[in-house]
Chain A
Amino acid sequence: MTAPLVSLQNLSVQFCGNRKASALNAVNIELGAGEVLGLLGESGSGKSVTLRTLLRLHPERSTKIQGKIEVDGHDVLALKGRALDLYRGGTVSMVFQEPGLAFDPVYTIGQQITEAIRAHGAVGEAAARAQALHMLERVQIPQARRRFDAYPHELSGGMRQRAMIALALACQPKLLLADEPTTALDATVQIQVLLLLRELQRETGMSVIFVTHDIGAAVEVADRIAVMYAGRIVEQATVGDIVRTPRHPYTVGLLAATVGAEHRGQPLQAVPGAPPDLAALPPGCSFAPRCAHASERCRREVPPLESKGGHAVACWHPAQPVAEAA
């Protein structure tokens, strides 16, 4: 078996500034080349922290990182100087929920993409401009030539999101980190951007970690889904297994609480309670206070993530997969 493109081993991240928080707790993730992983979880579960750690974007002084990150043979936590610069944006790049974070308002879209291409390769100005224009066409921005000279605020939300994808893909990264790229968009534009991401992934063969709290969006783009809860991966499996035979009570609850037409006229099955405070995680399973199946052991010991036949779950009492009716 070839080594995976990305491997996070026992990754823990603690913030120790004036707000203390154990944002990630012994996270293990592996991702093969060309694979798309959906990272699914609620607000505050640690999805963005995972991506920012992969890009080494946390302030060093107030962040304690333990464990290991390997991407394409690099020991990411040991990267420094020029090697780190080339890694960011070259090997790995990121798309954010809010395009304002990626674009500088005082330069045109075209200038910024051109600049990014030049920063990562020995390319002349004219060639870089041509390549930047080509990127805008590839992300299906209508009238790309005209939009090349537009400032970020002159584009609609959906178009800015496309332009940001063009910027992220300009240097042909091996890994794309997408942090809720469609959450701020309308349903109609969201589906356009999801289809675009899927198409670009197929064309380029890059790997993608797609962060979302919307299971529907994950189903549209991902091969596998990892479910996060309070800084831990609680379940990981193929998209089909997660949707059809979820095993962690949290995943089961999340799917049951997802509103569908069939629920009309009856109460929804809500998961009671709220996610825990990361500064004071419960000693055992962090879902135990909200879980209908919690036992003494659940409240005492953290369940390990155990994998069987490619379906991993961290729970002392996982739901048994029902034997499929023919």
Chain B
Amino acid sequence: MNSAPHTPSPLHDRGGPAQPLLVVRNLKKHFPVRGGPLERTKKFVHAVDGVSFSVPKGKTLGIVGESGCGKSTTARLIARLMQADSGSMVFDGEGVDEFGGIRLKEFRRSLQMVFQDSFASLNPRLTIAETIAYGPRVHGMPAAEAKRQAHDLLARVGLAPEQFASRYPHELSGGQRQRVNIARALAFDPRLVILDEAVAALDKSVQAQVLNLLQELKAERQLTYLFISHDLHVVHYISDYVMVMYLGQVVETGPVERIYGQAAHPYTRALLSAVPSMDPDRRTESSPLAGDPPNPINPPSGCRFRDRCPHAHPVCEATSPALISLPGDPAHQAACHLNDPASGHPGALPETQA
């Protein structure tokens, strides 16, 4: 960006390039659900159930999985919009909100979120320049500087300030509003941006504009993205790493080429083949996955995918598969007995074949 000398955020690189920007360990969130008046035990939705992962600096981690598998809840827990039941986070080598670690206030500034609903997240009574300047002003930036920064940011996201700065949210199209949301997130000079279905509501022709913008900004500002989306093409396009969730747990994670090229979990394979064919002569003939995801209140024992899995075996019911590294690339991990020679699953690859 051509502009404003950013007040260096208190949070610039500390851990060095090899230190992942974010490490999440064993995150859990169970939501209580109201049962009938006669039910004695309280029930819980196992929304996020022991999620661990890390995101390298300057990379994009795509998160995919069926509706309700816990993607947004994971995002909200990381952003501390919601308290986790348990789990810990390390941001650039320092524990978040731990004794001797980074304070919550600093952490919140260096992490910003952009949501799907571009309208609901903007204040209808503020012009878009005011909206973008609002956060930095609250954090003590002088008014004139905040305003100048807002204009620079608008120009950067492709909205000419002289034309747009004084407009209100309802005077913008969906794609323009999403640009404003991105500009507002950038006003804090964040290091991590969580994008939860941020391009889902946009038309295809406009979606491509916003994806290009996100890629440019990432390169310019060394941003790290957590990119949540239903659109498997978009995730393939934008991600460096991909994490696949099923019913509150991570079932597979790894570099994007490995996930899209040699997925190791039966669920990942089914999910990734569920994209419409673009060739009228070779339409999809059968659906890769039958049935609905199981009830998150009472998840199945063992592997949660077992009652929809074509390879399920009694061992899948008896023990839950751990997320283990696969031969060839330790960053590629899957939680399926088929990948663990010691699991006792008859279809498991023998150890020698690596």
Show the binding face of A for B, using Cβ within 8 Å.
42-43, 142, 156-159, 185-192, 194-195, 198, 213-217, 219-220, 238-240, 243, 250, 253-254, 257-261, 263-264, 267-272, 274-275
Q: Which residues of A contact B278 (CB under 8 A)?
A: 215-216, 219, 243, 258, 260
The answer for the CA separation of A128 and B230 in the assembled complex, in Å, is: 39
Binds A, one of B47-55, B90-98, B139-147, B285-293: B285-293
B230 and A187: CB pair below 8 A? yes
Min CB distance A89 to B, Å, is 28
Interface residue? B166 (CB, 8 A): no
Can you name 24 A-B pairs with beta carbons within 8 Å?
A: A42-B205, A43-B203, A186-B274, A188-B289, A189-B66, A189-B292, A190-B274, A191-B276, A191-B284, A194-B284, A195-B284, A216-B277, A219-B279, A243-B280, A250-B205, A257-B207, A258-B278, A261-B233, A261-B236, A268-B211, A270-B208, A271-B205, A271-B206, A274-B206
A158 and B292: CB pair below 8 A? yes
Min CB distance A29 to B, Å, is 20
Min CB distance B244 to A, Å, is 12
B292 and A217: CB pair below 8 A? no
Interface residue? B342 (CB, 8 A): no
Interface residue? B234 (CB, 8 A): yes
Q: A187-B232, A213-B204, A220-B284 are in contact. Are A259 and B209 (CB under 8 A)?
A: no
The answer for the CA separation of A71 and B234 in the assembled complex, in Å, is: 40
The answer for the CA separation of A215 and B277 in the assembled complex, in Å, is: 10
A186 and B230: CB pair below 8 A? yes
Min CB distance B128 to A, Å, is 15
B271 and A188: CB pair below 8 A? yes
Residue A220 contacts which of B203, B206, B276 (CB distance < 8 angstroms)? B276
Interface residue? B301 (CB, 8 A): no
Interface residue? B105 (CB, 8 A): no
A240 and B280: CB pair below 8 A? yes
Interface residue? B82 (CB, 8 A): no
A156 and B281: CB pair below 8 A? no
Min CB distance A277 to B, Å, is 9
Complex: chain A residue closest to B69, CB-CB:
A186
Q: A186-B66, A187-B230, A187-B232 are in contact. Are A258 and B279 (CB under 8 A)?
A: no
Complex: chain A residue closest to B175, CB-CB:
A274
Q: Which residues of A contact B286 (CB under 8 A)?
A: 195
Q: Which residues of A contact B280 (CB under 8 A)?
A: 219, 238-240, 243
The answer for the CA separation of A188 and B66 in the assembled complex, in Å, is: 8
**Closest 3 pairs (CB-CB, A-B):** A216-B276, A270-B208, A271-B205
Complex: chain B residue closest to A222, CB-CB:
B280
Complex: chain A residue closest to B64, CB-CB:
A187
The answer for the CA separation of A275 and B209 in the assembled complex, in Å, is: 14
Which chain B residues numbered 206 to 259 have a C-beta less than 8 Å away from chain A?
206-209, 211-212, 215, 230-234, 236-237, 256
Q: Which residues of B contact A194 (CB under 8 A)?
A: 276, 284
Min CB distance B164 to A, Å, is 12
Interface residue? B173 (CB, 8 A): yes
Q: Which residues of B contact A43 (CB under 8 A)?
A: 174, 203
B208 and A269: CB pair below 8 A? yes
Min CB distance B177 to A, Å, is 11
Interface residue? B270 (CB, 8 A): yes
Interface residue? B339 (CB, 8 A): no
The answer for the CA separation of A43 and B207 in the assembled complex, in Å, is: 12
The answer for the CA separation of A245 and B152 in the assembled complex, in Å, is: 41
Complex: chain B residue closest to A268, CB-CB:
B208
Min CB distance A68 to B, Å, is 30
The answer for the CA separation of A267 and B237 in the assembled complex, in Å, is: 10
The answer for the CA separation of A250 and B204 in the assembled complex, in Å, is: 11
B279 and A257: CB pair below 8 A? no
Q: Which residues of B contact A257 (CB under 8 A)?
A: 204-205, 207-208
Min CB distance B264 to A, Å, is 18
Min CB distance B324 to A, Å, is 25
The answer for the CA separation of A266 and B278 in the assembled complex, in Å, is: 21
Min CB distance A188 to B, Å, is 4
Interface residue? B168 (CB, 8 A): no
Instruction: Beyond A219-B277, A268-B211, list 13 extra A-B contacts (CB 8 Å).
Output: A157-B67, A192-B290, A194-B276, A214-B204, A216-B278, A219-B278, A220-B284, A258-B233, A258-B278, A259-B233, A270-B205, A270-B206, A275-B203
The answer for the CA separation of A261 and B203 in the assembled complex, in Å, is: 19
Q: Which residues of B contact A190 (CB under 8 A)?
A: 274, 276
The answer for the CA separation of A186 and B71 in the assembled complex, in Å, is: 13
Q: Which residues of B contact A267 (CB under 8 A)?
A: 212, 215
Interface residue? B260 (CB, 8 A): yes
Q: Which residues of A contact B274 (CB under 8 A)?
A: 186-188, 190-191
Q: Which residues of B contact A263 (CB under 8 A)?
A: 237
Q: Which residues of B contact A250 (CB under 8 A)?
A: 205
A253 and B205: CB pair below 8 A? yes
Complex: chain A residue closest to B216, CB-CB:
A267
Q: A186-B230, A263-B237 are in contact. Are A192 and B287 (CB under 8 A)?
A: yes
A188 and B237: CB pair below 8 A? no
Interface residue? B126 (CB, 8 A): no
Which chain B residues numbered 165 to 203 have a C-beta less than 8 Å away from chain A?
173-176, 203
A264 and B281: CB pair below 8 A? no
Q: Which residues of B contact A270 (CB under 8 A)?
A: 205-206, 208-209, 212
The answer for the CA separation of A93 and B54 in the assembled complex, in Å, is: 50
Min CB distance A155 to B, Å, is 9
Q: Which residues of B contact A269 (CB under 8 A)?
A: 208
Q: Which residues of B contact A275 (CB under 8 A)?
A: 173, 203
Q: Which residues of B contact A274 (CB under 8 A)?
A: 173, 175-176, 206
Q: Which residues of B contact A187 (CB under 8 A)?
A: 230, 232, 271, 274-275
Q: Which residues of B contact A271 (CB under 8 A)?
A: 205-206, 208-209
Q: Which residues of B contact A261 (CB under 8 A)?
A: 233, 236-237, 260
Q: A187-B275, A259-B211, A270-B212 are in contact. Are A264 and B175 (CB under 8 A)?
A: no
